[in-house]
Structure 1
Amino acid sequence: MHGVRRDKQSKEAIEARKQKEQSKIREYLALTDHVLTRKKNKDYTREALETTTQLLQLNPEFYTIWNYRRLILLNGIFPKSSPTEINDQLSDDLSMTTVALRAHPKVYWIWNHRRWCLENVPTGPGSEGDPDYLGWRQDYWKKEMFVVEKMLDVDARNFLAWSYRRYVLASMPVPRNPKTELAYTKRKIEANFSNFSAWHQRSKILASLWAKGELDEYQSKESEFELIKNAMFTVPEDQSAWIYHRWLVGAGRDKGILEREIDVIKMLLDEQPDSKWCMESMVHYNLLLIKNHSSNVDVPKLTQECRSFLKELRIVDTARTRRYDEIEEELGA
């Protein structure tokens, strides 16, 4: 940076740093060799478990070592442990992965190990029907929801955290009210309209509620169109809102909705004449009108509009010229 003094390091300092880095590499390679040797020898002792902890703290993406850790637990630790001891060990593993996620929030293998831990939680003390019987599991799921929400507070678009959240919601012993989750996704979306994962989560919940008849589809869709309209006009260049909009419109069998949404996009196109997503959507929805309502629309006019938009798209989006050629081929002569 300009104006910032850079202290020149001495040759001795540079060499010392180099030696330190090489020493760390040698230690890491030696530890890796040691752990893999234990794995080859099917060492499932507590000492072996501790070596996997050390190695995974250095490299949490080493999926082979996560697999080995689970083998140790299943074959060496759990068979000699009481349900309470197993519960304590799994709690320790979850704490270990929580620390790892703070530094590596997008490493799949860490999230995967958390899921494995939850799937191996023993039932609580007492007999079936006792309030404590499932108490441990219920507590775990509540804690997991807290952890994943904290992770999404840090990075609201972490797709691995959203995927894990869906897993937690589907697995909770006492199901969460889906409308509570709808409210959560709306908060995340309104904080950042470009949050594709939140839109995706919202579509999953709505589809489920509509399929079960637990939410009026027409009325809720109208509310969604208002929400998505705000997003489209706020960040017209972001694909998240446009993909969700197409999901809402669906197969385009409702002519009234199609024409209304086309008018909305035309308004935005007047403000953003070079918008790739506006033009692509105009082509997409015009094609739906032609396909589903050809007897009630001006097909030649819509076809010409599509050709005009495709011509512009080839200019503003040169990387996808071949795709636009294929779309035009669908229009025929």
Structure 2
Amino acid sequence: MHGVRRVRQTAEALAAKKLREQSKITEYLALNEEVLSKKASDDWSREAYDLTTRVLQINPEFYTVWNYRRNILLHGIFPKCSPTEINDLLTEELSMTTAALKMHPKVYWIWNHRRWCLENVPDGPGTDTEGDINGWRKSYWDKELFVDEKMLDADARNFHAWSYRRYILAGMPVAKPETAELAYTTRKIESNFSNFSAWHQRTKILSSLWGSGRLDYSKSKEEEFELVRNAMYTDPNDQSVWMYHRWLIGDGEDKEVLDREIIVIQELLDEQPDSKWCMESLVHYKRLLLQRHSSLVDAEVANDCRRLLDELRGLDPARRRRYEDIEKRL
């Protein structure tokens, strides 16, 4: 930090630090050896379970130990427990992984273990043949959605949290309205347009709503174009915004929409003459015009593409070959 005097460590202090670090490594390696030895002998004891806790607190990416931990629960601990006791153990597992996620929010194996916990929730009180909507399962899934939202509050672009969210929403005993989830993605996007995962989530929800006829396709799609245009003008260099715009355009069957959006992007390029994404998108959409509506466009469209590709080669030389390949296919 500026203005803070750096204290030079003595040789003795450095040696002591190195010794402490070596001691931790030695302890960790001994723990690993002990756990893997128990795993090799199919030890499903509580002692083995506790050892996996110690290892995973140090190294949550040790997926072999996560697998072993689940086998201990399934083969050694759960068979001796009542449904209530299993419920309590799974609650402890989720608490343990919640603590781990605070330190390691992007470790896949922690998220994977939470999924396993949910999939092993026993039948609870008030169960019925309709899926136990009044028992433990509903409580678990509702809490998981809450935890996931807290994780996304901390990091709105955490891919793992968004993936887990889709898993939760798909498996909830009482489904959350998709319109509510659409509103959630709107809040996340409006707070930060540079959120690829939120845009991606939006494509999934809208595809479902449009496909089922639960949302007016024409009206809502125009609203989406308005949303993404605002994002484009706010940050024309954000790739996630342009990818969403391309998803809205689709395969270019609607020439009127193509023409309109080309005008919008050209206006933005006039304001931001060095915008690579404006140029790339104009090339992409003009190529769609040539491919889908060739009888309605003139040769000048192809010339525009060549001019833009030439500018892109100068602006983005690392992808020069790619732009040359595109030009060859015009």
Give the TM-score taking structure 2 as reference length: 0.98
Q: What number of residue pairs does the alignment pair up?
A: 330
Q: Is the 8 A contact 1:123 1:133 kept in 2?
A: no
Cα distance in 2 for residues equivalent to 1:169 and 1:151: 16
Can you list the C-alpha shifts for 1:213-251, whole angstroms capped at 9, x where unaligned? 111111110000000000000010110100000000001
2:61 pairs with 1:61: yes
Cα distance in 2 for residues equivalent to 1:256 and 1:2: 57
Residue in 1 that maps onto 2:17: 17
One-letter amino acid of the counterpart of residue 221, structure 1: K
Can you list the C-alpha shifts for 1:1-54, whole angstroms capped at 9, x where unaligned? 554212222222111111111111100000010100000011001111110011
Residue in 2 that maps onto 1:242: 242
Cα distance in 2 for residues equivalent to 1:133 and 1:319: 55
Cα distance in 1 for residues equivalent to 2:167 and 2:139: 16
Structure 1 residue 132 displacement after superposition: 6.7
Can you list the C-alpha shifts for 1:68-106, whole angstroms capped at 9, x where unaligned? 001101111111111111111111000000000000000
Q: Please state whether the residue corresponding to 1:43 is helix, strand or coil.
A: coil
Cα distance in 2 for residues equivalent to 1:110 and 1:158: 14
Structure 1 gap ranges (5+)? none
Q: 1:87 to 1:250 in 2, by over 3 A?
A: same
Q: 1:130 to 1:106 in 2, by over 3 A?
A: closer
Q: Please state whether the residue corresponding to 1:284 is helix, strand or coil.
A: helix
2:99 pairs with 1:99: yes
One-letter amino acid of the counterpart of residue 45, structure 1: S
2:330 pairs with 1:325: no
Bigger drift between 314-323 and 1-10 goes to 1-10
Residue in 2 that maps onto 1:302: 301
2:82 pairs with 1:82: yes
Q: Is the 8 A contact 1:137 1:173 kept in 2?
A: yes
Cα distance in 2 for residues equivalent to 1:131 and 1:229: 43
Residue in 1 that maps onto 2:284: 284
Structure 1 residue 133 displacement after superposition: 6.6
Q: Is the 8 A contact 2:127 2:134 kept in 1?
A: no
Q: Is the 8 A contact 2:126 2:135 kept in 1?
A: no
Cα distance in 1 for residues equivalent to 2:19 and 2:131: 59
Q: Is the 8 A contact 2:309 2:323 kept in 1?
A: yes
- Over the aligned positions, Cα root-mean-square deviation in angstroms equals 1.3
Q: Please state whether the residue corresponding to 2:329 is helix, strand or coil.
A: helix
Alignment of 1:137-216 (within 5 A): 137-216=137-216
Cα distance in 1 for residues equivalent to 2:160 and 2:320: 33
One-letter amino acid of the counterpart of residue 7, structure 2: D
Q: Report percent identity of matched pairs.
A: 66
Give the TM-score taking structure 1 as reference length: 0.97
Structure 1 residue 65 displacement after superposition: 0.3
Cα distance in 1 for residues equivalent to 2:6 and 2:166: 49
Can you list the C-alpha shifts for 1:121-157, whole angstroms capped at 9, x where unaligned? 0111355259977410000011000000000000000
Alignment of 1:115-130 (within 5 A): 115-126=115-126, 128=128
Q: Please state whether the residue corresponding to 1:253 is helix, strand or coil.
A: coil
Cα distance in 1 for residues equivalent to 2:130 and 2:317: 65
Cα distance in 2 for residues equivalent to 1:10 and 1:276: 52
One-letter amino acid of the counterpart of residue 285, structure 2: Y
Cα distance in 2 for residues equivalent to 1:308 and 1:132: 63
Q: Is the 8 A contact 2:131 2:173 kept in 1?
A: no
Residue in 2 that maps onto 1:73: 73
Q: Please state whether the residue corresponding to 2:306 is helix, strand or coil.
A: helix
Q: 1:131 to 1:69 in 2, by over 3 A?
A: closer
Q: 1:132 to 1:207 in 2, by over 3 A?
A: closer
Please identify runs of 4+ aligned residues in structure 1 that moved more than 6 A. Answer: 130-133
Q: Is the 8 A contact 2:289 2:297 kept in 1?
A: yes
Cα distance in 2 for residues equivalent to 1:4 and 1:127: 62
Q: Is the 8 A contact 1:87 1:122 kept in 2?
A: yes
Q: Is the 8 A contact 1:189 1:199 kept in 2?
A: yes
